[in-house]
Amino acid sequence: MKFKFTFVLLVLIGQFFSLTAREVTSFNEGWLFKRGPFSEDPVKVVAQWEGKWETVNLPHTWNAKDMQVKAASFYEGVGYYKKKQFFNEELKGKRVFLRFEGVGANTEVYVNSKLVGTHKGGYSAFAFEIGTALKFGAENEIMVKADNTARPDVIPVNHSLFGVYGGIYRPVWLIITEQNNITVTDCASPGVYITQKNVSKRSADITVKVKLDNGSLTPANLVLENTLYTQEGKRVASHRLPLELTPQGTQTYFSTFKLNKPHLWQGRKDPYLYKVVSRLVAEGRVIDEVIQPLGVRKFEVVAGKGFYLNDEKYPMYGVTRHQDWWGLGSALTNKEHDFDLAQIMDVGATTVRFAHYQQSDYLYSRCDSLGLVIWAEIPFVNRVTGYEAENAQSQLRELIRQSFNHPSIYVWGLHNEVYQPHEYTAGLTQALHNLAKTEDPDRYTVAVNGFGHAEHAVNQNTDIQGMNRYFGWYEKKLQDIEPWVKGLEEKYPWQKLMLTEYGADANLEHQTEYLGDALNWGKPFYPETFQTKTHEYQWSVISKHPYIIASYLWNMFDFAVPMWSRGGVPARNLKGLMTFDRKIKKDSYYWYKANWSKEPVLYLTQRRNADRERKQTSVTVYSNIGTPIVYLNGKELTGIRKGYTDVHYVFDNVTLEQGKNVIRTVATHNGKEYTDEIEWNYTGEKKRNADSRENKNEHAGW
């Protein structure tokens, strides 16, 4: 069927869109797919299985099921996609590109059996110009070879901490431009880079850098116009630059602006976005246009004191997020991204660490408009091989250029728990830091260590030092978090420290009242109640120590770990505040919502721990709307005490009746009554063999 082009450029920066000469069209429907293994040449593969291909739409992954249900049992290898498309004769003289938002993990793209490009890495976008390989006025065949086999030269070098899902799991776009354009192939970036200096309530200096590309053989007389608009669409300022664009390489041009009394981007309180429209004009006609967001803001990290947004201290209530979903893998639509962000907003988070790889550009754009302060990173994790240095730098360059204009991003993550050999890892981290500062001097860098001492051999090579600490889970006891923080603060007061992972697993089928101060994670029993206890105590310590500039609990959602089998659920990390299918919020979710959110919370814990083991027990309520009243079987309980924070209320020495017990809590806030109710059942004393021995394992980053 003849291909119909639309003339609407949808730019994923929240609500902005514009009519433009650039044509951007979804290229996601009607693909054919064939999974390997294969041994043949890619071109021969396409012809060999005629009539035996599966029809799929993108996004798509072949690991949506097998990577989530059984440990170390999933297809790791090659899959092929092909699509036939008619291209009009009218496209002669135009430039044609394919832009892939993400393919797992290593890619070859062919057009009419001609190789047009390759890409290494499963999380960054890439774009290839394909016009010279096309037959206009005829049907063309596009073929993509995807391979998620772990390789020593491509990060991540294994599937140990998370699985790299195979396939074209993010959207693909067909882009049509004139011969002269705002470059499409500068690491698949927008081709526009916005920097800001001297930001205050009084003024801000804005620079717009635009990279232009002439695909013809002759110079062209053009005008580059950069215009700033308010969020409401009012024109603020414009700069027109006449130029002669030569065919020799990409050319770079600048426009500078001074914004007086700018409307600042203030995080969740007021995530105000300007927009920058870059237009390329030839003979009075707009031939290309790119729209990018501008959130005017200043980030500052002060050792020992905290995080500052526009010179005001800003609370960093942090969660982490892996992108995969139960039954979908990584092949998500915007609907799934929006759902995850809604939960993150609901729990009251102000900052997100998107771990451990570059995530959807749509997701970053939504964070711009929601006011979440975010951390973006590359998948340099877990192990080194000595062969990944070039690819790590390439993926960092792609991340920075593709994400440069997102005002929500404050830091680039360079590595997570990478150690031996120390000399190689430290040297590569230094090189990545230098690259980040060359590409983007104005943002911070961070590297993350799973050990708790600042003098570790791979530390102090980035602006911020992250540490993952799982006291009571992988090592020592819950209470050891406080002396650890105090010790670092006394010895290294200059260090910009962030607690970048902490928490414990929680299998909702595992419940007990008998809890010690440490759990041996190697055992198969992962009670939700221990996760709750961990977060209750450790957040109370974190909240009192400004030396911890930001903290990021691990994790917002359970996720797949295809090499694991722990805690009674194969191929699963159970540390999420919500289950993998996003259907159940664990008790810890409400702990943070009560502490962080401004929304009213009244919540009774241990609702799934309904088969009670003790007649004499305790009742816990989270309430951020004042002191709650609690009833047991209709009788009001007495003896309430405050727990670890102001929202934490505990009733000790509560005596249950034989059989069913109904616990109900009530609180009144602003004239409205709030209630919560759960049921417990007591049939006699019983004790589970919960292991509370101290575990001295030092590997803290799972």
Strand residue runs (E) in 53-163: 54-56, 78-87, 95-100, 106-111, 114-120, 126-129, 138-147
Question: At 46, is the pLDDT very low, low, confident or very high (cuts 50, 70, 90)?
Answer: low
Residue 417 catalytic? yes
Whether the Cβ atoms of residue 188 and residue 127 lie closer than 8 Å to each other: yes
Question: At 43, is the pLDDT very low, low, confident or very high (cuts 50, 70, 90)?
Answer: low
Question: At 4, is the pLDDT very low, low, confident or very high (cuts 50, 70, 90)?
Answer: very low
Looking at residue 523, what is its pLDDT?
79
**Percentage with pLDDT > 90 across the chain:** 91
Biggest distance spanned by C-alpha atoms of the chain: 90
Flag the least confident range among 43-47, 88-92, 220-224. Answer: 43-47
Q: How many degrees, rounded to 5, is the angle at CA 85 between CA 83 and CA 87? A: 155
Instruction: Write out pLDDT tens, residues 380-411.
Output: 999 999 999 999 999 999 999 999 999 999 99
What is d(CA 585, CA 632) in angstroms, rounded to the nearest whole number? 24
**Percentage with pLDDT > 70 across the chain:** 93
- 290 or 6, higher pLDDT: 290
Whether the Cβ atoms of residue 616 and residue 513 lie closer than 8 Å to each other: no
Flag the least confident range among 26-40, 153-167, 480-494, 634-648. Answer: 26-40
Looking at residue 47, what is its pLDDT?
66
Burial of 517 per CB tally in 10 Å (0-12, 13-18, 19+): middle
Looking at residue 7, what is its pLDDT?
30
- 313 or 12, higher pLDDT: 313
Question: At 145, is the pLDDT very low, low, confident or very high (cuts 50, 70, 90)?
Answer: very high
- Count CB atoms within 10 A of the CB of residue 580: 22
**b/e per residue 107-142 (b: at least 16 CB within 10 A):** bbbbbbeeebbebbbbbbbbbbbbbebbebeeebeb
Three-state DSSP string of 282-328: ECCEEEEEEEEEECCCCEEEECCCEEEECCEECCCEEEEECCCECCC
Rounded to 10°, the helix 389-403/361-370 angle is 40
* pLDDT value at 692 more than 80: no
Q: How far is CA 447 from the centre of its chain?
A: 16
Looking at residue 37, what is its pLDDT?
79
Cis omega (within 30 of 0) for bond into 105:
yes
Rounded to 10°, the helix 528-542/481-491 angle is 30
The helix (H) or strand (E) run that includes residue 622 is strand 616-623
What is d(CA 246, CA 656) in angstroms, rounded to the nearest whole number? 83
Q: How many degrees, rounded to 5, is the angle at CA 247 between CA 246 and CA 249? A: 100
Instruction: Select which of 101, 129, 417, 536 is catalytic.
Output: 417
Cis omega (within 30 of 0) for bond into 59:
yes
Average pLDDT over all residues of the chain: 93
Whether the Cβ atoms of residue 456 and residue 449 lie closer than 8 Å to each other: yes
What is d(CA 625, CA 593) in angstroms, rounded to the nearest whole number? 12
* pLDDT value at 13 more than 90: no
Residue 392: phi, psi to the nearest 5?
A: -60, -40
* pLDDT value at 14 more than 90: no
Residue 674: phi, psi to the nearest 5?
A: -115, 145
CA atoms within 13 A on the CB side of 676: 18
Give start and end residues of each alpha helix (H) in 26-127: 42-48, 66-69
Amino acid at 2: K
**pTM for this entry:** 0.94
Residue 444, classed as helix, strand or coil, is strand
What is d(CA 149, CA 159) in angstroms, rounded to the nearest whole number? 9
Q: Shortest CA distance to 539 belongs to which of 591, 489, 495?
A: 591
Question: At 40, is the pLDDT very low, low, confident or very high (cuts 50, 70, 90)?
Answer: low
The two structure tokens encoding residue 674: 């709030």
Whether the Cβ atoms of residue 185 and residue 285 lie closer than 8 Å to each other: no
Flag the least confident range among 38-52, 175-189, 202-216. Answer: 38-52
Residue 46: phi, psi to the nearest 5?
A: -60, -40
Which residues have CB under 8 Å from 582's CB, separation 6+? 325, 326, 339, 340, 343, 557
The two structure tokens encoding residue 641: 């005490």
Which residues have CB under 8 Å from 515's CB, separation 6+? 527, 529, 530, 533, 690, 692
Cis omega (within 30 of 0) for bond into 421:
yes
* Residue ranges of domains in the chain, CATH in brackets: 22-177 (2.60.120.260), 192-294 (2.60.40.10), 310-470+478-505+545-565+574-597 (3.20.20.80)
Question: At 8, is the pLDDT very low, low, confident or very high (cuts 50, 70, 90)?
Answer: very low
Q: Shortest CA distance to 657 belongs to which of 686, 683, 679?
A: 683
Instruction: Write out pLDDT tens, residues 274-331.
Output: 999 999 999 999 999 999 999 999 999 999 999 999 999 999 999 999 999 999 999 9
DSSP 8-state assignment for residue 657: P
What is d(CA 649, CA 646) in angstroms, rounded to the nearest whole number? 8
Looking at residue 533, what is its pLDDT?
98
What is d(CA 203, CA 250) in angstroms, rounded to the nearest whole number? 32
For residue 455, what are the CA distances in angstroms to 91, 384, 460, 497?
Answer: 60, 20, 8, 13
Instruction: Write out pLDDT tens, residues 605-639.
Output: 999 999 999 999 999 999 999 999 999 999 999 99
For residue 524, what are the CA distances in angstroms to 43, 84, 507, 567, 689?
Answer: 48, 50, 10, 4, 11
Would you give the end-to-end CA distance of the chain in angstroms? Answer: 50
- 646 or 520, higher pLDDT: 646
Question: At 42, is the pLDDT very low, low, confident or very high (cuts 50, 70, 90)?
Answer: low
Cis omega (within 30 of 0) for bond into 37:
yes
For residue 406, what are the CA distances in angstroms to 79, 192, 199, 227?
Answer: 33, 12, 16, 18
The helix (H) or strand (E) run that includes residue 497 is strand 497-501
DSSP 8-state assignment for residue 656: P
Average pLDDT over residues 52-71: 95
* pLDDT value at 15 more than 50: no
